[in-house]
Amino acid sequence: MADHPVDEKLPALKMATTGLQHVAAMYAGVVAPPLIVGAAIGLTASDLTFLTGACLFTAGLATFLQTLGVWRIGARLPFVNGVTFAGVAPMTAIVASTEDKSDALPIIFGAVIVAGLLGFIAAPFFSKAVRFFPPVVTGTVITLIGISLLPVAFGWAQGPDPAAHDYGSATNLGLAAVTLLIVLLLRRFTTGFVKQIAVLLGLVAGTLIAIPFGATDFGPVADAAVIGFPTPFHFGAPQFQLAAIVSLCVVMVVSMTESTADMLALGEIVDRPADEKTIAAGLRADTLGSAISPLFNGFMCSAFAQNIGLVAMTRIRSRYVVATGGGFLVLMGLCPMAASLIAVVPRPVLGGAGVVLFGSVAASGIQTLVRAGLDKDNNVLIVAVSLAVGIIPITAPEFYHAFPQTVRIVLDSGISTGCVAAVLLNLVFNHLGNKDARDVTHPMEAGEEITGASRAPAAP
């Protein structure tokens, strides 16, 4: 019997080129979180390069776990894993609340380890609770992720230093606008591989255009070694603080929710539907990859939704292709010079590309909400209130100023608060005491119409 397309091993050249395509589709997403967190801490160029390389390396390891699998770990689907955007806002909140910035990364790493281990234990139980995470919840969370990160892109577009005389200058905003325009033109007028790497090509073009303006610094590449290794605990031994742990445990729930929805969607695309066992195995890979990641100075890992779109477009369903992409990620993590290339990109250029990148995340959430059935009164209320709660820290940063700092680490993350609100409201409106609760049992299915004519009673 022929192998299922998911288990097919392609010729070496095709395996390599299609694997690189997956890396290209998610590379910018992997390096963005260490850039955001590293900039918030004030890391030097060399430390920022190291952190970026570590995240590439750990993304490769997590991808191996997910695609190849070990024991009951790994969905064994063409899943690319990398640093999740959901953790960025809480991690920057942790940085802001840490007096000694040198302790910020150890505190984050300690929280990620605990969240990963707890998630690993909870994976089989979480897979059973999937009925409580319909599109109305996952769509709201994904939308909030994009909305929460857009201000970061706007900040990048103005420049690297708010105190600098050229911060927000016409030159910086112009570079961001030109980069955005290049990405849009590439997406509109190209096809295939070039279209998939439009963001990367935009970053390269924007960087070259910025050279005459003195905005490009090649120093990080010149100073970087060709070969290196993400030394364990490079930034110090993990520290364990309760508030940070609680905050990132909430992020882990968000990440597991996203991954569950992604596995169900990908299972349909590759004609291997993800059952409860597959979901549990995939969540184990996500959470174990996250727990291991801080050992090598990486952050929480999760599935990358943009690569699911790539699978759907190319119809190349082999998990070994994605595993090959994971191999490239590991190699890039072991080559600091390759990792340092992203440090060359001027911040305004990153801002222009970030508008597309982060806006696409929000758009993905809106697409999910469309499947939720927003013509239903209950779902409209859930989305409306959850989005409002999640946007509070963005539009009114001092809204929770009277709360203790430890509590604010959670409250100041719109993603965390919005997720909690969506889950609780979904339980209240679509499950507890609701006769139609039985109709909302699958995260890829919309709930039944609540208003209008009553449903006929079930046959005895």
What confidence tens digit (pLDDT) does each residue in 322-337 have?
A: 999 999 899 888 987 7
Q: What is the pLDDT of residues 336-361, one digit of tens each?
A: 777 666 667 888 988 898 888 778 77
* Predicted pLDDT at 443: 42
Q: What is the pLDDT of residues 121-140, one digit of tens each?
A: 999 988 887 677 678 887 88
Distances (CA, A) of 363 to 138, 145, 148, 264, 318: 13, 10, 13, 19, 27
* Predicted pLDDT at 381: 92
CB 134 within 8 A of CB 442: yes
> Percent of the chain beyond pLDDT 70?
87
* Predicted pLDDT at 353: 83
Q: What is the pLDDT of residues 65-80, one digit of tens each?
A: 999 988 899 889 998 8
pLDDT of 441 above 80: no
How many whole angstroms separate alpha carbon 415 and alpha carbon 418?
5
Compute the average pLDDT of residues 293-300: 93
Range picked from 74-78, 115-119, 133-137, 147-151 for highest mean pLDDT? 115-119
pLDDT of 272 above 80: yes
* Predicted pLDDT at 433: 66
Compute the average pLDDT of residues 436-440: 45
pLDDT of 240 above 80: yes
- Give the confidence band of 45 by pLDDT, cuts at 50, 70, 90: confident
Of the candidate ranges 73-77, 90-94, 143-147, 440-444, the one whose mean pLDDT is the lowest: 440-444
- Count of other CB atoms within 10 angstroms of residue 237: 9
* Predicted pLDDT at 446: 45
| Prediction pTM value | 0.69
* Predicted pLDDT at 285: 93
